[in-house]
Amino acid sequence: MAFSREDIEANREHFAAKLRAEKQKADVAQWAKGEAGAGDFLLLDARQRGGFNKSHIQGALCVPVEELAQLIGKLPKDRELVTYCWNQT
């Protein structure tokens, strides 16, 4: 199936917007090390509290997905929020 010029442009715009909306792993690593130019964002660990207590990225806040609705009002509205989680299985 051949893609039209409009299809190609739509895909290009979609993925460009997606990349602008996502922090890259390197950006978070730079932030965690406190390196200059890392950006000003709040890192949220979306795992359950037990996993967070075992280990987490220094400076991250624990905001479990299950508690997000309760905690959302306490999060700053003037800073970029970046979430992370991982599966330990």
Look at residue 89 and tell me if it is in a domain.
Answer: no
Integer Cα distance of 28 and 85 in angstroms: 13
Integer Cα distance of 16 and 32 in angstroms: 25
Residue 63, both tokens: 């905001």
Which band of pLDDT confidence, cut at 50, 70 and 90, is reported for residue 87? low
Q: Which residues are CB-neighbours of 13 under 8 A, at least 6 positions away? A: none
Length of the chain: 89
Q: What is the pLDDT of residues 3-46, one digit of tens each?
A: 999 999 999 999 888 887 777 778 888 888 888 877 888 999 99
CATH at residue 78: 3.40.250.10
User: Which residue segment(s) compose the domain that 58 sits in?
Assistant: 5-32+39-84
Look at residue 43 and tell me if it is in a domain.
Answer: yes
Q: With 80 as the cut, is the pLDDT of residue 68 above it?
A: yes
Integer Cα distance of 56 and 63 in angstroms: 12
Number of domains in the chain: 1
Which residue do the tokens 């700053």 mark? Answer: 76
Look at residue 10 and tell me if it is in a domain.
Answer: yes
Look at residue 69 and tell me if it is in a domain.
Answer: yes
Among 29-33, 37-41, 61-65, 75-79, whose mean pLDDT is lowest?
A: 37-41
Q: What is the pLDDT of residues 18-27, one digit of tens each?
A: 887 777 778 8
